[in-house]
Amino acid sequence: MTAGRTNPEVSTAYGAVRGRYEHGVAVFRGIPYAAPPFGPRRFRPPEPPEPWDGVRDAGAFGPTAPKPPYSEAFAQYLSDPEIPGDDCLNLNVWTPAPDPAAHLPVLVWLHGGALTRGSSAVPVYDGTSFARDGVVCVSVNYRLGIEGYGLFPDAPPNPGLRDQLAALRWVHDMIGAFGGDPDRITLCGQSAGAISAGTLLAAPQSQGLVRRAVLQSGPPEVLDRDKVRRMVRRMANRLKIPATAEAFAAVDRDLLLRTQAEAGRLGSPVLGGPAFGIVVDGDLVPRDPLESLIDGDAARGVDLLMGWTRDEYRLWLVPGGLLERVDRLGAVALAGAMARCHTGHEVPRGYRALNPDAGTAEIVGQMVTDHLLRVPLHRLADARPGTSYLYEFAWPSGLPGLGACHALELGFVFDTGAAPESRKLAGDGAPPDLCTQMHTAWVRFATSGDPGWQAWDATHPVRIFGDGGPYTAYGPRDTEVALWSTVPTPTPTPTPAAPEPGPTAEIRAPGAEWAAAVRRLRRSVGARRR
């Protein structure tokens, strides 16, 4: 480490790195935590990086994992830089004091993107504000899509999740040299990053590596193995190759990405459809991670900060005009949502009674949001009272139709609301005070485990971040969550069953008619999950 304001240097077990001082903090970018996952390492678990001689320059972001670009409909709202190169298993560190004596809290960030897109180089995730406020911030790249979550007979499952575990181990072992305290690591993620973070909490191999966790808009979950296999077979059929890792490794990388984008074009959180995801593998994921965290001893000493945005579904429905199409489909769309959520008529009837003036898209969107996010996060908080804190982000975007949508809170968490990439989703006029208040809550949680409001108990306190500043509401989603109390926890199945017929025409399932309509809807929009 060099004194003064010359470029900071830190020694790791694999070699020294030279960062930069920017805005009063030290930044190290593109540090490899594992070897490039190509050639003989393709589709295999991560391996340690090769040591290097001398001092490696860490002034620029490293390569991003291979990924297709967002569709035009989503790219107008979401930024996703692409940096070429094979050495994509890298991470970045922002620290106020690259000094082993500092012992500062650490926040490790796992980006979202449906396990198919995203990277640590997205400007919204700049860690400067965390370092400015005394927290060492680490952001991680990991394998995506077919490279990270393909399921093959000749390769181990979940290599992307194994990348994240390797990065977490690197942080635990190395972060002390950057000023971090390995005993105060907060694992944080949004959407697919939150799903990953929650799944890692339950993994036997991660026990003792994490002190706290933040799950933003994503509970721990696994997909049915057959669903992931079907995604792989869909790609294999298009490529006219066997559905094996060996065959996929021989395909041109750009062609593989184009094929992946086309195979996943018709999937979305609202409509379901083809997807990559984490699967139970008997090793890193020995069982359903949500159930493991609820009824097991996994991560029992870990504090949890969990939450959602008020209108998650609007990012899934507004781009490409899907919201209007769902409204026009009416009963057919409701029937599709019932199948997606594994429920009968009583749940949509309850939502209609609570929101008599709402359109079909809003009923469908809130149902799916609760099914995917609020119900499982409530269950997890109920199992861990006293050490769980819940929030809802309710400030609406300045852009038409988006409301308080999925991913909107990210610029507030990182206090990067003024960045052009944040304004793509938030529009102009994001309140600086709300950015400061939400960011400060995350800093407090990473530092002490207390974000500044009441821990979860029988009164169900939820911190609302919206217009007029934060306040605590008690049980604001309890009525909706209670509608699901008679719905059994679903076991993933290869294909959704047609909803049971019922007496109410508004939500009657028309069997093959709704299935065909949903297929037409998917084709017309090509919606993609973030």
Report strand pairing: 55-57 vs 15-18.
Answer: parallel
DSSP 49: P
- E strand map for 408-528: 461-465, 471-474
Q: Can you tell me whether residue 284 is helix, strand or coil?
A: coil
| Angle at alpha carbon of residue 426, lines to 420 and 429, rounded to 5° | 85
The answer to whether 270 and 364 are in contact (CB under 8 A) is yes
Side-chain half-sphere CA neighbours of 183 within 13 A:
2
- Among residues 406, 421, 422, 480, the one annotated as catalytic is 406
Tell me how far apart the alpha carbons of residues 190 and 129 are, in angstroms, rounded to a whole number.
Answer: 18
CA distance 233 to 143: 20
Residue type (1 letter), 152: F
Which amino acid, one-letter code, is at 227?
K
Contact status, residue 213 vs residue 296, Cβ threshold 8 Å = no
422 is catalytic: no
472 touches 463 (CB < 8 A): yes
- CA-to-CA distance for 262 and 356, rounded, in angstroms? 38
Radius of gyration, alpha carbons of the chain: 22
Q: Crossing angle, helix 512-525 and helix 331-340, to 10 degrees?
A: 90
| Number of residues in the chain | 530
Nearest Cα neighbor of 326 from 520, 498, 191, 503 is: 520
User: Token match 């890193």: residue?
Assistant: 284
The residue annotated as part of the active site, out of 120, 147, 217, 312, is 312
Burial of 257 (0-12, 13-18, 19+ CB in 10 A): buried
Produce one character per residue of 114-149: b if its CB has 16 or more CB atoms within 10 Å, e if not.
bbbbbbbbbebbbbbbbbbbbbbbbbbbbbbbbbbb
Among the listed residues 79, 120, 139, 191, the single catalytic one is: 191
Residue 406 appears among annotated catalytic residues: yes
Is residue 324 part of the annotated active site? The answer reads no
> Catalytic site residues?
191, 312, 406
